[in-house]
Amino acid sequence: MRKISRRHKKNIKKTKNIVCSNLEEAIKILKETSTVGFVESVELHANLNIDPKYADQQLRTTITLPNGIGKKTDCCSFNK
C-alpha cells in the first residue's frame, strides 16, 4: 500500500464529503489546499444530464488553449 504524506492526509480531511455548488466556492477550497511550489492544474467533472441519442442533446465543442499546444511549427518543414 502506498504511503500518504501528512500534507495529503490534511487535504483529504479538509475536502471529505464536500460538494461545491458554485465555482467561487471550489476555487476557495482549491486555494486553501494548495501547498506546492509549482503551478498546479485542475480537472472539472460536470454532469450535464443530456442523452446523446437525441440530436438536440448532443454536445460538440472546441476550446482554444491560451498558449496554443506549445509546439512551434515551421511552414516549410514538409519540404526538407
pLDDT band at 22 (very low <50, low <70, confident <90, very high): confident
31 within some domain? yes
73 within some domain? yes
pLDDT band at 3 (very low <50, low <70, confident <90, very high): very high
74 within some domain? yes
1 within some domain? no
In the predicted model, is pLDDT for residue 11 greater than 80? yes
- So what's the pLDDT on residue 39? 78
Whole-angstrom distance, CA of residue 31 vs CA of residue 37: 13
38 within some domain? yes
18 within some domain? yes
Higher local confidence (pLDDT), 4 or 57: 4
**Residue 67 carries which DSSP code?**
T
50 within some domain? yes
72 within some domain? yes
Q: pLDDT tens digit string along 24-76? A: 888 888 888 887 888 777 777 777 788 878 877 777 777 776 766 666 656 55
Number of domains the chain is built from: 1
Q: Is the Cβ–Cβ distance between 50 and 57 less than 8 Å? A: yes
Residue 36: give the domain boundaries. Answer: 6-79
Q: What b/e sequence results for 30-67 when a residue is b if at least 16 CB atoms lie within 10 Å of its CB, and e otherwise?
A: eeebeeeeeeeeeeeeeeeeeeeeeeeeeeeeeeeeee
Nine-digit cell at 51?
442523452
